Amino acid sequence: MGFSPDPLILTRGLTRYFEARPAVVDLHLEVMAGEVLGLLGPNGAGKTTTVRMLAGLLAPSAGEAFVAGHSVTKEPEKVRPKVGVLSENPGFYKRLTVRRNLRFFAELYGVRDSRRIDEVLALVKLSERAEDPVATLSKGLRQRLALARALVHDPQVLLLDEPTSGLDPEAAKEVRELLSELSLAHRAILLCTHNLPEAERLCHRIAVLKTKLIAVGTPTELKERLFGRWVVVTLANPKPEIISALNLPFVCNASLDGQKLLLAVEDPERHNPILVRKLVELGAEILYIAEEERTLEDVYLELMEGGNAA
């Protein structure tokens, strides 16, 4: 599969209404080859509608989307072979074996080489269950089979809705590692998930959707836009006058909370040594200094409450 410098997923003003109710409005997104983009948002935010439009299963009301260079509205028949979809509730023929299910879906994409089925079963670690009826699989194993189905035709784009749902921690870790490998194979992956720690570990960038796109960027970029970078200095002898005397140009804000001096600092890696020297000159006894840790959950909750990450 060749690498392309162009986005494998591109949307411009993508919009979908159901009667008068907006589901997705004016969505602008790009996902490059080799990238995992996490699509986050509450229930009803438009994530599944976006996936269905990108897969060519639902026509946009306005705007346009391109997948692997093909228009989802003008060339849906060219889009579908380029896309692998893992839906939230994948369906299978439960009386048929794992292999026969996968063969059936492979043939829908024109894949008739049994070696490809063996490769994908091995990839998701289902080779030993290949001849078992799907009805005998646990929810976690069915989720692996759903991922195999999405991969069987070797698509350039993966649209995944909660891919680790129902998996135990070890199996979920294996799926995350597999997804990382798949993105490195020059695929573009759009990952819809409510698992924020998983999104932070796995995704290169995050897009937060609430009918409209309200934020997009790397987890680090979103944290810095919303919260800045804060350094927490624990002092043995906290004195309020230290704040007024701490007149450094790279300290944007300062407050004292008990023994903790909270400082908004530009580029802490560069300026922390200067900060420490200044505090010592002012007579501060420093017990501990560290940058305040923010999580993707902090970002998400702030955005849901009306925070601005633009």
In this prediction, residues 138-164 reach a mean pLDDT of: 91
Confidence of residue 98 (pLDDT cuts 50, 70, 90): very high
- Return the H-helix or E-strand segment holding 209: strand 205-210
Q: Please tell me the predicted confidence (pLDDT) of residue 310.
A: 54
Q: Contact at 8 Å (CB) between 265 and 251?
A: yes
Residue 296 has pLDDT above 60, yes or no: yes
Residue 184 has pLDDT above 70, yes or no: yes
Q: Please tell me the predicted confidence (pLDDT) of residue 279.
A: 93
pLDDT tens string 206-219: 999 999 999 999 99
In this prediction, residues 131-142 reach a mean pLDDT of: 92
| In the chain, domain spans | 9-223, 230-291
Residue 118 has pLDDT above 90, yes or no: yes
CA separation, residue 251 to residues 185, 271, 292 (Å): 43, 9, 15
In this prediction, residues 252-278 reach a mean pLDDT of: 91
Domain spanning 230-291, CATH class: alpha beta
**Rounded to whole angstroms, how far apart are CA atoms 265 and 289?**
13
Q: Please tell me the predicted confidence (pLDDT) of residue 169.
A: 85
Q: Please tell me the predicted confidence (pLDDT) of residue 191.
A: 95
pLDDT tens string 68-88: 999 999 999 999 999 999 987
Residues 6+ apart with CB under 8 A from 140: 166, 167, 168, 171
What's the CATH fold of domain 9-223? Rossmann fold (3.40.50)
Tokens of 112: 């008739």
**Rounded to whole angstroms, how far apart are CA atoms 15 and 220?**
28
Q: Please tell me the predicted confidence (pLDDT) of residue 69.
A: 94
Residues 6+ apart with CB under 8 A from 60: 14, 15, 16, 53, 72, 73
Residue 93 has pLDDT above 70, yes or no: yes
The model carries a pTM of 0.83
In this prediction, residues 267-275 reach a mean pLDDT of: 91
In this prediction, residues 105-132 reach a mean pLDDT of: 94
Confidence of residue 221 (pLDDT cuts 50, 70, 90): very high
In this prediction, residues 127-154 reach a mean pLDDT of: 93
Percent of the chain as helix, strand, coil, to the nearest 5: 35, 30, 35
Q: Please tell me the predicted confidence (pLDDT) of residue 1.
A: 41
Residue 3 has pLDDT above 50, yes or no: no
With CA atoms as reference, report the closest residue to 189 among 1, 8, 2, 4.
8
Q: Please tell me the predicted confidence (pLDDT) of residue 97.
A: 97
Residue 262 has pLDDT above 60, yes or no: yes
Confidence of residue 145 (pLDDT cuts 50, 70, 90): very high
Among 45-49, 161-165, 189-193, the range scoring the smallest mean pLDDT is: 161-165
By the 10 Å C-beta count (0-12 exposed, 13-18 middle, 19+ buried), 8 is classed as buried
In this prediction, residues 280-293 reach a mean pLDDT of: 90
Residue of 155 and 180 predicted with greater confidence: 155
Residue of 120 and 176 predicted with greater confidence: 120
Cα 262 to its chain centre, rounded Å, is: 31
Average pLDDT, the chain: 90
